[in-house]
Amino acid sequence: MVNKMVNMIRKEMTPRQEALLKSVEEFILEHGYGPTIRQIGARLGIASPSAVFKHVLSLERKGYLKRERGELRRAGAAPGPDAGRFRVPLAGLVPAGTPREAFDFSGGAMDIPEWMIGRRRGNVFCIRVEGKSMIDAYIDDGDNVLLERTSSANSGEMVVAMLDDGSVTLKRLRRENDKTFLVPENPAFRPFEVENVRVLGRVIGVLRKY
């Protein structure tokens, strides 16, 4: 009886509330975090923040929205097959061994668990690794590595770096005594010093299919 009453309450949405709920969902998909009251109003053409807030409160009471740490989130919906997934661009092979020519984005994409992306949406890409120079960091030949686009990284972080000749490689960045090294995670490979290195991305995750 209780479940039936809850379902009846949840069905009572006005067309404006349905539009607002859809707007919140779309904003979260685009940005990775919930919109503010004014952002919702701007998307829906509602000039009054108090009017938007009333609709939000109503949707919270009906169980469609919830606030977590001050952010709006979708609540109570059964997840679909693609729920919790996000598509990121897929780049070409990147050698975890001897540096090779720069990769190109193939136009393909991969579905990545949303929790691995967080608020980095639009700033993440994926590469396929070729080689075993990073095996001791649990990155093997054929693994898909998720990277955050960045032009800087701290010493000790794993990065995809571009060298002076345009070649790229996946290594751990080390800075010691005003020198910069790209360091493999496999004793069969040797670190090498680089004069100028351009960081293209910082490793944030590894995806592997057995």
- Catalytic residue positions? 133, 171
Half-sphere exposure of 154 (CA within 13 A, CB side): 1
First-to-final CA distance of the chain = 46
Helix ranges restricted to H, 32-109: 37-44, 49-61
List, in order, residues 6 or more apart from 72 with CB less than 8 Å away.
24, 28, 34, 35, 56, 65, 66
Task: Give residue for tokens 């120079």.
Answer: 133
Instruction: List the structure tokens of 208.
Output: 């592997």
Beta bridge partners of 145: 127, 206
Residues 153 and 173: beta-carbon distance below 8 Å: yes
Exposed e or buried b per residue across 22-38, where buried means at least 16 C-beta atoms within 10 angstroms of its C-beta: ebbbebbeeebebbebe
54 CB neighbour count, 10 Å cutoff: 12
